[in-house]
Structure 1
Amino acid sequence: MNTWSWGYVGDILPDLLKGLWITVQATLYGSLVSFALGLVWALALRSPSRRLTWPVSIVVEFIRNTPLLVQLFFLFFVLPGWGLTFPPLATGVIGLGLHYSTFTAEVYRAGIDGVPAGQWEAATALSLPRRRTWSAVILPQAFRRVVPVLGNYVIAMFKDTPMLAAITVGDMLFQANSISAATFDYMEPITVVGVLFIVISYPTSLLLRALERRLVR
């Protein structure tokens, strides 16, 4: 039976922290992609043109209802056969961002629908251009409502980053598996990875709760 070794933890910690940095990068960049693309989906789905809403709704539902891991495999292993090749980390960022954009689109939709009808009427009464109505009146109020929910999706994405190890992204889990395969000792690497996830995700969730209370006030 293996016994815990703090010396071994000290030896492997630098490699795990390198993996943590890659995990954080994948989460941050993936979040930016999901926020931007989710807004595009949400606005497209509100278009009066069915020629636009139908294709977008089909794409969104397809992505939302297929597993993230399958999408990552498709991007990493299938697309190169069609001449589209990306580095592992870029593939992971695209996969995470694309997958979660279908969920953030629904968050944006709820936030936009939550803006009081009087705001739309006031913008119309002032003869504001449509673009100005969205940028200065509707979206600022919608964003205020959805920030806490978007933050929860960032945490969920952070916890999903271990899937990127399947496409050779050197995140924490990939580093832990590599170390364990070389030393045949899995207890310390996997445990430290779990602790690092808790150390980051739990305080972040507390900050989001505090932000939510502040926005409500």
Structure 2
Amino acid sequence: MRFHWSAVGDFLPMFWDGLLVTLQALVLGALIAFALGLVWALAQRSDLRVVRWPVTAVTEFVRNTPLLVQLFFLYYVMPEWGLTLSPLTTGVVGLGLHYSTYTAEVYRAGIDGVPAGQWEAATALSLPRGRTWTSVILPQAIRRVVPALGNYVIAMLKDSPMIFAIGVLEMLGQAKQFSAQTFLSLEPLALVGVAFVVIAYPASLLLRALERRLVR
């Protein structure tokens, strides 16, 4: 099997299009995962069972079912109930929803790690509940879990090729389409593999540096 450098040049326009879609899905999906995960974490600490139990059931269900099944459900089943989304939007929502259940556990661990004295000090100062959360608890909790949240961004990057199953042409999707057109698989897949490493490895180094800085 020979490596054809000319095929790499032919694939590059499709690769850049796929890279843009991958980054869009990653960034938007991560924003949804971070925001929604915090909502899940706070709801699971609610004093109201009518709030706590349904949220716990939903997050456990989503976390224990495959991402691919969830993508198929959102794209093929939800339109029958009147909700139709574009493939890319469905992929973003699917990634964000799936990983929000994991970030919720990260937030929960961070909140539980805040010393009890912080809660007691806020109570002694007669701070309102909302002010206690926004000014005392969450800033400390989120600072503790930033490295863990970053790890899920890398995991989301590696899971982003799954959105090709619903017709989104991200990097791997473009590589498969190029292979179908030219019958050359090695070159596009090698370029996509290198791209994942180039994106993920520096990100992991930045997360380690951030973790060391936060520890200090």
TM category (shorter chain) comes to: over 0.9
In the alignment, the residues of structure 1 paired with residue 13 and residue 136 of structure 2 have an alpha-carbon distance, to the nearest angstrom, of 48
Partner of 2:194: 195
Partner of 1:152: 151
Q: Give the RMSD, CA atoms, in angstroms.
A: 0.6
Q: How many residues align?
A: 216
In the alignment, the residues of structure 1 paired with residue 123 and residue 115 of structure 2 have an alpha-carbon distance, to the nearest angstrom, of 13
Instruction: Report the CA distance between 1:29 and its aligned residue.
Output: 0.3
In the alignment, the residues of structure 1 paired with residue 7 and residue 182 of structure 2 have an alpha-carbon distance, to the nearest angstrom, of 10
Question: What are the ranges of 5 or more consecutive residues in structure 1 without an aligned counterpart?
Answer: none
Question: What are the ranges of 5 or more consecutive residues in structure 2 without an aligned counterpart?
Answer: none
Instruction: Report the CA distance between 1:81 and its aligned residue.
Output: 1.2
In the alignment, the residues of structure 1 paired with residue 43 and residue 190 of structure 2 have an alpha-carbon distance, to the nearest angstrom, of 44
Would you identify which runs of 4 or more consecutive aligned residues in structure 1 move more than 3 Å?
A: none
Normalised to the residue count of structure 2, the TM-score between the two structures is 0.99
Partner of 1:14: 13
In the alignment, the residues of structure 2 paired with residue 12 and residue 49 of structure 1 have an alpha-carbon distance, to the nearest angstrom, of 55
In the alignment, the residues of structure 2 paired with residue 170 and residue 186 of structure 1 have an alpha-carbon distance, to the nearest angstrom, of 16
Q: Equivalent residues in 2 for 1:1-217 (5 A)?
A: 2-217=1-216
Instruction: Report the CA distance between 1:40 and its aligned residue.
Output: 0.5
Instruction: Report the CA distance between 1:10 and its aligned residue.
Output: 1.2
Instruction: Report the CA distance between 1:178 and its aligned residue.
Output: 0.5
In the alignment, the residues of structure 2 paired with residue 41 and residue 85 of structure 1 have an alpha-carbon distance, to the nearest angstrom, of 25
In the alignment, the residues of structure 2 paired with residue 165 and residue 8 of structure 1 have an alpha-carbon distance, to the nearest angstrom, of 22
Normalised to the residue count of structure 1, the TM-score between the two structures is 0.98
Instruction: Report the CA distance between 1:116 and its aligned residue.
Output: 0.6
Instruction: Report the CA distance between 1:65 and its aligned residue.
Output: 0.3
In the alignment, the residues of structure 2 paired with residue 57 and residue 130 of structure 1 have an alpha-carbon distance, to the nearest angstrom, of 22
In the alignment, the residues of structure 2 paired with residue 197 and residue 163 of structure 1 have an alpha-carbon distance, to the nearest angstrom, of 14
Q: Which digits, 9 at most, give the CA deviation of each residue in 1:133-185, with x for residues without a partner?
A: 00000000001000000000000000000000001111001100110000111
Instruction: Report the CA distance between 1:11 and its aligned residue.
Output: 1.5
In the alignment, the residues of structure 1 paired with residue 24 and residue 145 of structure 2 have an alpha-carbon distance, to the nearest angstrom, of 23
